[in-house]
Amino acid sequence: MKIVFASTPSQEEEINELVRYFYSNIFPLYFNDEEINQFEELKVLDTSLDFNTLKDAFQIMTSIQTVISILESTPLDEQYETVFNKNVATLKEYGFFFPFDFEQFVDGKSMKSSMLSIYTKADNELII
């Protein structure tokens, strides 16, 4: 008999938070709003999947966090390409749709200007 621990609601919420962070902090660094909107329609990194076990949830969280760390690094160094690809493969194993390769982000970073995006979080909020 094998005992398997189910993922917890807090882990599922953490995965949802990481995906929201990806959309509001990572994608705007590399893509314009129209492209990001298409990613939403295509369900890129869709979190409606069931994360069966504790191990599954941890693997997903770790993979997303690793991809985020790599894509936030400045400059985006090609020495991380293998680690990036490994973590993207892990996400795909768990059913996440992430149709990007490392080169798309390398190319996107070099052409990205400091444009405003509807996906980025506001630096401040007006309280009435």
What number is the average pLDDT over the span 105-122?
62
Q: Residue 77's pLDDT band (boundaries 50, 70, 90)? A: confident
Q: At which residue do the structure tokens 């890129």 appear?
A: 44
Q: What is the pLDDT of residues 17-73, one digit of tens each?
A: 999 999 999 999 899 999 999 999 999 999 887 777 888 999 999 999 999 999 998
Examine the pLDDT at 128 and tell me if it is beyond 80. no
Rounded CA-CA distance 18/88 in Å is 14
Q: Annotate 96-127 with DSSP letters as a single string.
A: ------HHHHHHHHHH------TTSPPSS---
* 114/81: higher pLDDT: 81
Q: Residue 9's pLDDT band (boundaries 50, 70, 90)? A: confident
Q: Considering the entire predicted model, what is its pTM?
A: 0.81
Q: Tokens representing 40?
A: 């939403």
Buried b or exposed e, range 85-97, using 16+ CB within 10 angstroms: eebbebbeeeebe
Q: How many Cα atoms are found within 13 Å in the side-chain-facing hemisphere of 25?
A: 15
